[in-house]
Every structure is written in C-alpha cells, then in structure tokens.
Amino acid sequence: MPFASEIVRNQRSRRTDSYGSGQFGASRRHGPHEGLDIEARPGEGVFSPIEGEILGEASPYADDRSLRGLLIRGAGQWNGYEVKIFYVDGIFCGRTVPGSLIGRAQDLTFRYPGITNHVHLEVRLGGRPLSPNEIYGLCI
C-alpha cells in the first residue's frame, strides 16, 4: 500500500475532548466513527493526501450547508481509493497530486463549542472503510 501525504502540516489526530475521540472506530450514537479527525486551525491549508481528482463537494450534514467537504477519487497508485475530507472551505476542483493545496480548514466551534478544531478524513477502498492510519503506515 502506498503512503499518503499529510493533509495539514505536522498533522496529529484529535485526541479525546468533550465530544469524544477523533480516532477511527470510536463510539458514536449512529455507530463507529468511520474516519480520523486531524487537528487543524481555522484557515489552515488543507492538502491532498493522494493523487486523484476532486469530484466535488461532500456535505457532512444535510441540515447545515455552511460546513463543507470534498470527495477525491484516487488515480495512479491510488486507483480504487476514495477519500472524503470534511470541514474544508475554498475547495479547488479538478486534478490533484499529493501535497497540493485543496482548501482551508473551517472553524467548528460555532456548531460544537469547545471542540478541538479539526478536519475529518475518511478513506475507502472498493467501498470498504479503511482506517486512515493504514494509508499513513503509522498511528498519528
């Protein structure tokens, strides 16, 4: 499996806060957390973890269109992978390579007061959710 590029500089996962854990598989009301939350300051650059194409926006909430995300379909060595990244604004569409700027992190504190600001990363291969840690080859 290839290794992904960081989506924020010096990335690290969101630890447990008053809203729970940001780790893949953490307990949620609707089932296990299918992504990994990576700490990001509002306005911080968000970068593509893989080679692919940004297909467009992906919305994390049907009732709040102010929070945005994007969907990347993998290409090259990432063929078959799909990546969703939520809480990203100023999204660039089209072809992307690992490490290219794809948007800016949004501020989540208006919806979740006291939460650690972050972007949410989901990875699927053949429709099956993968722990994002798998594409980084380590725990972050």
Alpha helices in the chain (DSSP H): 132-136
Closest CA to 98 of 23, 1, 4, 2: 4
Domains of the chain plus CATH, in order, are 36-136 (2.70.70.10)
Mean pLDDT value across residues 72-97: 93
Per-residue pLDDT reduced to its tens digit, 46-72? 999 999 999 988 889 888 889 999 999
With a cut of 80, say whether residue 24 has pLDDT above it: yes
Mean pLDDT value across residues 80-109: 93
With a cut of 60, say whether residue 14 has pLDDT above it: yes
Mean per-residue pLDDT of the chain: 91
Residues 71 and 83: beta-carbon distance below 8 Å:
yes
User: Where residue 80 falls among pLDDT bands split at 50, 70, 90?
Assistant: very high
